[in-house]
Amino acid sequence: MKTLKFAVLPGDYIGPEVMSVALDVLKAATEPAGIKLDYTEAHVGGAGIDNEGKALPDSTIKVCEEADAILFGSIGGPKWENLPPAEQPERAALLPIRKHFNLFANLRPGLLYQELTDASPLKAERIPEGIDMVCVRELTGGIYFGPKRTETLEDGDIQATDEMVYKKSEIERILDVAIASAKARSGKICSVDKANVLTTSVLWRKTATEYVAKHAPEIELSHMYVDNAAMQMARDPNQFDVIVTENMFGDIISDEMGIVCGSLGMLSSASLGTGKNKYDLPFGLYEPSGGTAPDIAGKGIANPCAQILSAALMLRYSFGENEIAEKIEKAVKQAVMDGFRTGDISFGKPSIGTKEMAAAIIERL
């Protein structure tokens, strides 16, 4: 019997709500194939601070290191916002766990089923076939990880600095991921930068141009400034197929992609790095693209699809279980097509809660 060993880090606010039902879906999808789940839960983020005094406890890192993949909820929220910035969950756990496991490539599939176009804020005639694209976001470099400081100047003013830093090698390795993605799709990459202003973007654009020409000349590469990309995403998202971009631009653009695809609650993600697990497959962290949604937490109404679809990505990338991953993805789509909708995608029509949504998906597996 095959056993899948992974770490489960539910995190904060809606994290545990959507994680618990995602595990139910995983169990229901893998059991018929004779696959056993061997997962260990650990605290992270605010839950780490509250239970173990640290956003990323050593014991949590150990659980992750002993696993073949990490299924992650989301972390942070108002409860911990008054802590010193460096101790807050996002800075003290999310960025460090990505760095610790060298998870430099964040894949966010932007998918809007044709049957769900009414959930997008875009007019249906702009997206008659739905939306299908992927955002490849660099995840361990750029301004989030560059030097930071706050200082008092001689005149008494206060100055804060975040530095955006990129090495050519970091740009090349994320391009490799985008190229692989584009080869499996339409063969088109749009590289998003701000090369008219930022030095890192000048290096980004030059590297992208030279690297793709040399290593994947069959790929059609285009470049777009990030401000225009944000506008184009709202105007005509289907002009994009694979977007590759740096950390902060990818963070922002992918939230926009999430909403044009209906809701952040539908947007899954896979963060992959250089590490391999015992199956010689990528060790990855799988998490919804959105955050902890404190505004709806505790009500049982969060959309669990992003967490469930992230679990499907884990099956595909880290465990090679493509068929079961696809089965989950189809069940999510079918449930939505059959009219089962949480509030974020119901738009005035009757909506159901997190558990009911998961139950509808399990029924359709």
Ligand X SMILES: NC(=O)C1=CN([C@@H]2O[C@H](COP(=O)(O)OP(=O)(O)OC[C@H]3O[C@@H](n4cnc5c(N)ncnc54)[C@H](O)[C@@H]3O)[C@@H](O)[C@H]2O)C=CC1
Contact 15, 297 (CB under 8 A): no
Q: CA 15, 16, 19 angle in degrees (round to 5)? A: 85
Return the SS3 of 71: strand
Residues 71-100, one symbol each (x = binds ligand COI by CB under 6 A, - = not), give -------------------x---x------
User: Known binder of ligand: residue 355?
Assistant: no
| Interface with ligand COI, residue 329, by CB under 6 A | no
Selected catalytic residue, list 24, 176, 241, 255: 255
Q: Which of 90, 132, 138, 251 forms a contact with Mg ion (CB under 5 A)?
A: 251
Q: Residues near 66 by Cβ (< 8 Å), separated by ≥ 6? A: 5, 7, 40
Contact 300, 353 (CB under 8 A): yes
What is the Cα–Cα distance from 204 to 192, expressed in whole angstroms? 9
Selected catalytic residue, list 12, 13, 194, 333: 194
User: Known binder of ligand: residue 78?
Assistant: yes
Binding site for ligand X (CB under 6 A): 14, 18, 74-77, 90, 94, 263-265, 287, 290-296, 302-303, 306, 344
250: amino acid identity, one letter: G
Taking the least distance from each CB to ligand COI, the nearer of 117 and 289 is 289
To the query of whether residue 251 is one of the catalytic residues in this protein, the response is: yes
To the query of whether residue 58 is one of the catalytic residues in this protein, the response is: no
Annotate 211-264 with DSSP letters as a single string.
HHHHH-TTSEEEEEEHHHHHHHHHH-GGG-SEEEE-HHHHHHHHHHHHHHTT-G
Of the candidates 95, 93, 84, 86, the residue with the CA atom closest to the CA atom of residue 46: 93
Taking the least distance from each CB to ligand X, the nearer of 130 and 290 is 290
To the query of whether residue 144 is one of the catalytic residues in this protein, the response is: yes
To the query of whether residue 227 is one of the catalytic residues in this protein, the response is: yes
The residue of the chain with the least Cβ separation from ligand X equals: 291
What is the Cα–Cα distance from 198 to 310, expressed in whole angstroms? 33
Name the DSSP class of 92: I
User: Known binder of ligand: residue 251?
Assistant: yes
Q: How far is the CB of 135 from ligand COI (least distance, A)?
A: 10
Taking the least distance from each CB to ligand COI, the nearer of 133 and 335 is 133
Q: How far is the CB of 90 from ligand COI (least distance, A)?
A: 4
Tokens describing residue 192: 């998003």
- Which helix H or strand E contains 26, and what residues bound it? helix 14-30
Taking the least distance from each CB to ligand X, the nearer of 74 and 120 is 74
Query: Which listed option, ligand COI, Mg ion, ligand X, none, makes contact with residue 306 (CB within 5 to 8 Å by class)?
Result: ligand X
Question: Which residues does the annotation place in the binding site?
Answer: 77-90, 98, 108, 137, 227, 251, 255
Question: Which residues does the annotation place in the binding site for Mg(2+)?
Answer: 227, 251, 255
Positions marked catalytic: 144, 194, 227, 251, 255
Binding site for ligand COI (CB under 6 A): 90, 94, 144, 251, 289
